[in-house]
Chains A and B, each alone.
Chain A
């Protein structure tokens, strides 16, 4: 019992007599780990015999906080989970909460959330592709990707007031409605985006160094993907064609015409190509959503005291003030059923689900996150065995591990 890291750092018994093996400590402060991952590698020359990921260097007690903050407060914490696609986490969290409370969103809110989900998919994939290219020495692709990310940050800022962690969703609605200026900015953004994407494609897709370092590296088969619980672009690059947007349509995804991108090779290059194609599909979804954006309120069923009232009614009517009070007093808040619910959305990184155990108060009794990064980082040893040290960087880059979501 009580195994420790030091016990497993030693090479496996069958290779222990090969005393020329050596151990390399990779991280937790290493540029290719992006944030705080640590991997202990057992090497034969420069070939990886075995690797032991050591995580938890960013474990900050998200789930403990989820038991102390109410459904609207916790959205600020969820933001900081997968911080390269913050609104996607908020949408996932409030999707679970709304499933628990049984709230149906208004069509306008659903469309705006779809637009934000897809913007966040661009946000996430741009960073993933840009940083993966950066690790392989292609600095320019990173600069092009960050240029576009800055534009998405401006959109966030215009809509919510914060450029990086918008905390934009609320139970049953949104912090505020979007306006025509924002839609104009969004139109301008999606108009110029394909050419920026073409720039990145032109830099990488026929780049000999990039191809040599990603093709046939870190192959994941479809069977292994199922066995190891893999979801999202990593699974789709291995031929496991599952996308919750199509399979279990949430929000308004069934109204849109888009394709699920998949590949069957399962190597780092396939994961990169799937991400690039998904960005094109996201642009298609966003342009359809802007064209068909329904009018009407963004907040659902305000009368049932589930959704925050608007500012004017709080300041100018006693009903609004009471309503506001009811949702903010620590002994009032929501009255969810004493039940448990698991609901998931297709975040840019894979299936992001929240399992909420509710004890009938406005605060979750248990707020469990199903983090795609944890599942994907568990693949690392499987993918890296037999490759050389230099291939650690493309494998990590193609898995898109976000430490805050990994460790929570």
Chain B
């Protein structure tokens, strides 16, 4: 299933391994998706390196998944950063991970402003806290909401939050 990395990215992977020993855990690929799996402590430095030296100027997508019920998963949360080299049209996915009890990662808003809302969404849906994020608030759910609905242990029909409203009748208003 896995295919070869193009030479440019192979050279980049070697440069990253040399620059950050132990930072690049592995490389995988699947149907044209080329992935670097990186250590969460060094994720921010590696992404910064990829942006400044690797030419990946645009963060196309950032989100996460909860691997609680995933077969043979070792870590609870996986976070991916889909990068794009605008000049050469290359893509690269950087994956890192986070774990309970307090999943934390470094924010990349200082590198890409576009990460702002995407990180807020991950925080809202999974409870992963991004350190140094300028404005880490819930984005989609109300401020008073408790819990993180996209976690696998959250029931799809919720825990009663959609029921709790006053009932209006014709007699008022």
Interface residues of A (CB under 8 A from B): 1, 3-8, 55-56, 59, 61, 63-65, 67-68, 99-100, 102, 224, 226-231, 240, 242, 247-248, 337-342, 344, 351, 353, 355, 357, 359-360, 365-366, 368, 370, 374-375, 377-378, 407-408
How far, in angstroms, from A64 to B150 measured CA to CA in the complex?
6
How far, in angstroms, from A370 to B114 measured CA to CA in the complex?
12
How far, in angstroms, from A365 to B129 measured CA to CA in the complex?
22
Asked whether A56 and B86 contact (CB < 8 A) given A339-B30, A342-B93, the answer is no
Chain B residue at minimum C-beta to C-beta distance from A360: B71
Q: Are A56 and B141 in contact (CB under 8 A)?
A: yes
Contacts A4-B137, A61-B156, A353-B61 aside, 10 further interface pairs with beta carbons under 8 A come to A64-B154, A102-B31, A227-B114, A229-B60, A229-B115, A340-B80, A355-B82, A357-B78, A359-B71, A365-B65
How far, in angstroms, from A231 to B60 measured CA to CA in the complex?
9
Answer yes or no: B58 CB below 8 A from chain A CBs: yes
Asked whether A341 and B140 contact (CB < 8 A) given A228-B114, A231-B60, A355-B63, the answer is no
Asked whether A100 and B31 contact (CB < 8 A) given A64-B156, A227-B112, A370-B60, the answer is yes
- If over half of B's interface residues share one DSSP class (helix, strand or loop), that class is named, otherwise mixed; here it is loop
Q: Which of B66, B118, B156 contacts A68 (CB 8 A)?
A: B156
CB distance from A240 to the nearest CB of B (A): 7
Asked whether A374 and B121 contact (CB < 8 A) given A5-B143, A56-B140, A242-B86, the answer is yes
Q: Chain B interface residue count: which class?
A: 35 or more
Q: How many A-B pairs with Cβ below 8 Å?
A: 120
How far, in angstroms, from A64 to B59 measured CA to CA in the complex?
24
Interface of chain B residues 54 through 100 with chain A (CB within 8 A): 57-61, 63, 65-66, 69-71, 78, 80, 82, 86, 89, 93
**A5 / chain B contacts, CB cutoff of 8 Å:** 137, 143
Chain B residue at minimum C-beta to C-beta distance from A407: B140
Q: Are B136 and A3 in contact (CB under 8 A)?
A: yes
**B82 / chain A contacts, CB cutoff of 8 Å:** 342, 353, 355, 370
A-B contact pairs, 11 of them (CB 8 A): A3-B137, A6-B143, A227-B113, A228-B113, A231-B60, A240-B86, A355-B82, A359-B69, A366-B65, A368-B65, A407-B140
